[in-house]
Amino acid sequence: MNGFISVIRDLLEESGIGKPVIFTERSVELPGWFRPEKKWDLLVVVDSCLIAAIEFKSQVGSFGNNYNNRTEEALGSATDIWAAYREGAFKPSVRPWLGYLMLLEEAPDSTRPVRAQEPHFKVFEEFRSASYAKRYEILLTKLVRERLYDSACFLLSSRESSPSGEYREPAPELSFENFITSLMARAIACKKSS
């Protein structure tokens, strides 16, 4: 994930947003509404205004439990930051840009169909026999369409291709290009208004 963080940081710097206002390892805490603070993986803060916050997640193995945990984290983080924003935690910031990038191991256990548990009620049709990879695609698509995140990126990479940086984008809507284009548009707009 460090490679993706570096690429995004470099692109933001090229857009005219300086290094001192891009935070990736230190000073990445933002106040929450349901908790005191949460650490994000990349923040852009210009003149005391929160411009962008991005979460980078990866998963290798243990797909069942980790998928549920990642789903709850993504929903919780978005709900928390938007409530904090509503309550004025980031004044004088305009609505910040929120992004989520997920890199999943492409393996037999992540790409084969998984049976949904339905002891009392039926799951929504799109989850029926969906692999964990497909479930992530559904999750990220819904997070963006529900406007919990401004953009999301979903990448698959096998253990063999990961060291060389090769990855696959199973959903055009969740491509790295769409993700970075949305972020850069926001960065450029903020740069012009400052």
Chain centroid to Cα 39, Å, comes to 13
pTM of the model: 0.90
Helix (H, G, I), strand (E, B) or coil at 117: coil
Q: Name the pLDDT band for 38 (thresholds 50, 70, 90).
A: very high
Long-range contacts from 75-78, C-beta under 8 angstroms, 24+ separation: 75/143, 75/148, 76/34, 77/38, 78/143, 78/148, 78/149
Q: 111-155, pLDDT tens digit by residue?
A: 899 988 889 999 999 999 999 999 999 999 999 999 999 999 999
Tell me the H-state helices in the chain. 2-14, 63-86, 108-111, 132-145, 176-193
Q: What does the pLDDT read at residue 58?
A: 87
Q: Could you tell me the pLDDT band of residue 178, with boundaries at 50, 70 and 90? A: very high
Q: What is the pLDDT of residue 181?
A: 93
- Amino acid 1: pLDDT: 67
According to the model, what pLDDT value does residue 19 have? Answer: 67
Interval 64-99: pLDDT, tens: 778 888 999 999 999 999 999 999 999 888 899 999
